[in-house]
Amino acid sequence: MIIKTLELQNFRNYDALKARFEKGINYIYGENAEGKTNILEAIYFLSLTRSFRTSDVSDLIKKGTGFARIFAEISDNNSTKRIEITFNKNGKKITINGKNVAKISELNSLINVIAFIPKNTNLLKDSPKDRRRFINIYLSKFSNNYLKILNVYEKILKERNDAFKAYNINRTLLEILTNQLVELNKQIFMFRKKFIDEINKYISDIFKEVTKKEKKLFVEYKTFINDASSIEEFIKEEFKKVEKEEYSKKQTLIGVHKDDFEIYIDDKNAGLYGSQGENRMSVLSLILSLYFLNKDDKPIVILDDILSELDHNHEKNLIDYLKTFNQVFITNTAKSEYFDGKYYYYLKDRELKEEE
């Protein structure tokens, strides 16, 4: 799918914006603080009605107004659909072709967007919580079932922790909750392992293409489950091992809510020993690998300010590599001497103009 048109109203710094985009690379350039990132943020918002910059939708509404609106026409080979999202501080209204949408999963199945933003460079040095969030967001884009299971897991985990804190601990209730948690741990582990296994099919080749270095990239899934042959039995045994300590500390001590991942360049942990440049290219390769996970419907790729920290060779390599992608949005403060495509857009005074 691709985005053909985009309209913004009261979104961030825009009173109103109308734009038409094309298949291939759409290159948006202009001075800082003009609102280039805001356009990409709106495109990303179309996928899961969440921002990559804030968890508070009120931040997206232009000051002095009471609501914001995003409208887009998206098309594939067979049809065109119109998505409209209107929101204020009290909630959101989503329509597809004029019909109300009650579940975000309907939107997620229609449009998928993956994004590289400047703060992603620190992903490998950030906390495990940030890397779990990364996995959860993107796995949710590829599987609505995963999001449902994850929500149930978090609910049962809270109930189990609350049960430990009760004045008189109900051991029967704890056993029930533990059994439920065992099954949920198993399901989430299997989703995540398959997801990372799929990423590992592509990430190394992507890294070689954009860096022109013959180095192997590998994502290692860090979890408490190390026996994939009899997962359920293994999880049960692990819970038995920590049972006394959990009663003592009054909390759940193991589970996929503590999972993490690391990226290795050859045998070097990039997060611990990689340079800033290696971290940037490793995370970029990780994100671009997501493009290949869905064979039938390729996601839209947005790359915010990606070129500013790249040298000329990496800039050329990346742009050459992206030419085969279905639809890509790149923002930068200036044109690139390596981009010979015809879809340049110049942003000035909150007006986006297509250049020849």
Q: What pLDDT score does 356 carry?
A: 64
Q: What pLDDT score does 85 carry?
A: 96
Domain end point (choices 293, 308, 331):
293
> 327: domain CATH number?
3.40.50.300
The number of domains in the chain is 2
Q: CA 113, CA 40: separation in Å to the nearest integer? A: 10
Q: What pLDDT score does 209 carry?
A: 96
**Structural domain containing residue 196:** 127-293
Q: CA 215, CA 184: separation in Å to the nearest integer? A: 36
Q: What pLDDT score does 297 carry?
A: 81
Instruction: Say yes or no: 183 and 319 in one domain.
Output: no
Domain end point (choices 241, 273, 293):
293
Q: pLDDT tens for the chain, 356 residues: list them.
A: 899 999 999 999 999 999 999 999 999 999 999 999 999 999 999 988 999 999 999 999 999 999 999 999 999 878 899 999 999 989 999 999 999 987 777 777 788 999 999 999 999 999 999 999 999 999 988 888 998 999 999 999 999 999 999 999 999 999 999 999 999 999 999 999 999 999 999 999 999 999 999 999 999 999 999 877 899 999 999 999 999 999 999 999 999 999 999 999 999 999 999 999 999 999 999 999 999 998 778 999 999 999 988 999 999 999 999 999 999 999 999 999 999 877 899 999 999 998 86
Instruction: Say yes or no: 191 and 78 in one domain.
Output: no
Q: CA 92, CA 86: separation in Å to the nearest integer? A: 6
SS3 state of residue 96: strand
> 277: domain CATH number?
1.20.1050.90
pTM value is 0.94
Task: Report phi then psi at 262, rounded to 5.
Answer: -130, 155
Q: CA 319, CA 341: separation in Å to the nearest integer? A: 10
Which helix or strand (DSSP H or E) is residue 29 part of? strand 24-29
Specify whether the CB–CB gap between 231 and 189 falls below 8 A: yes
Instruction: Say yes or no: 138 and 281 in one domain.
Output: yes
Q: What pLDDT score does 326 carry?
A: 94
**Rounded to 5 degrees, what angle do the CA atoms 168, 169, 171 make?**
140
Q: What pLDDT score does 213 carry?
A: 94
Burial 117-127 (b: 16+ CB within 10 A, else e): beebbebbeee
Domain end point (choices 261, 276, 293):
293
- What lies within 8 Å, CB to CB, of 55 at 6+ separation is none
Q: What pLDDT score does 294 carry?
A: 81
